[in-house]
Amino acid sequence: VSHSLYYVHNANIMNVMFVAGQSFARRCVFFKSSICSRSLSSAFRAHGHRVFNSSLANWSGICCSRRFEFKHNNYRMMSCESVSPVATATGIRRVVNDIVVSATDTRTYRGLELENGLTVLLIHDEKATKAAAGLDVRVGGYQDPEGLPGLAHFCEHMLFLGTEKFPVENDYHQFIDSHGGSCNAMTTERSTRFYFDVSVEQLEPALDRFAQFFIAPLFNADMTEREVNAVDSEFEQYLHNDGWRVGHVFSATCDPAHPHSKFYCGNKNTLWTSPRERDVNVRDALLLYHGKYYSSNIM
């Protein structure tokens, strides 16, 4: 596999790969032999492509020296020279290069779907003076467990306070700040978003720290009350925000059976006082919440 592996755009044939490399004089399309009927093989030959049995078990192939589009009965296959190489060991399931952008946009875009289900949009901008990254988890206040309003928001706060790989409190903040960057996060009804920017040279170590939020956070018990107070401080600020007040009126008056009726900001009463009165361990609830919902297939 020293050559680049490419996915082939095709509508009806599965298990197809497009192979090209510097040592290949021609491009080759390989496909499962089980789908290559005699009529299909004949049709390929009629279009000037050589069909052969490859050294790969159960695979047949077509050689061609140019970009081509092939149609036969219900089959349609098109080799695409613009599709990006997919290394077999990278865990990438799919690459998308044909992303629609503005005609005046000079940046380069590439979409990826990883084997774990996580979807990625890569953007390259030669004029950028900083690097940046963000991650959206499609889980938010709607998923707050009964009896713990604001747990999704509280989880967002606690993720910044240390991970197994980087256990020192505020290590992430200090690293970002010391390299000319900034970071923040927000929790909505349906999603939780994390983002940062940093000097270009420090993107990789910043991403390493960032990724640990979603892999192995510590949720240190001795930091719980202090961070509850931080959430409560946000709640107190929102009390004087007219937009937030209108939204809360809507939540308070909608169907109680609908998740939008939940109080997803949270405060000290919902995350500290009331749970302690009911002998509910908020840290245990955080671990359960993170383990259940922070999954790569919804990121």
With contact defined as beta carbons under 8 Å apart, do 143 and 293 qualify? yes
Taking phi over 0 as left and psi of -120 to 50 as alpha, with beta for the rest, 64 belongs to: beta
The size of the chain, in residues, is: 299
Q: How far is CA 249 from the centre of its chain?
A: 33
Q: How far is CA 271 from the centre of its chain?
A: 29
Concatenated DSSP letters for 270-299? IIIIHHHHTT--HHHHHHHHHHHH--GGG-
Q: What's the CA gap between 30 and 62, in Å, rounded?
A: 6
Active site residues: 156
Q: What's the CA gap between 16 and 34, in Å, rounded?
A: 12
Which residue's entry shows tokens 């991650």? 135
Q: How far is CA 236 from the centre of its chain?
A: 33
DSSP conformation class of 190: S
Helix ranges, the chain (H) = 38-46, 151-158, 171-178, 203-211, 224-238, 242-253, 268, 274-277, 282-293
Q: What's the CA gap between 75 and 9, in Å, rounded?
A: 12
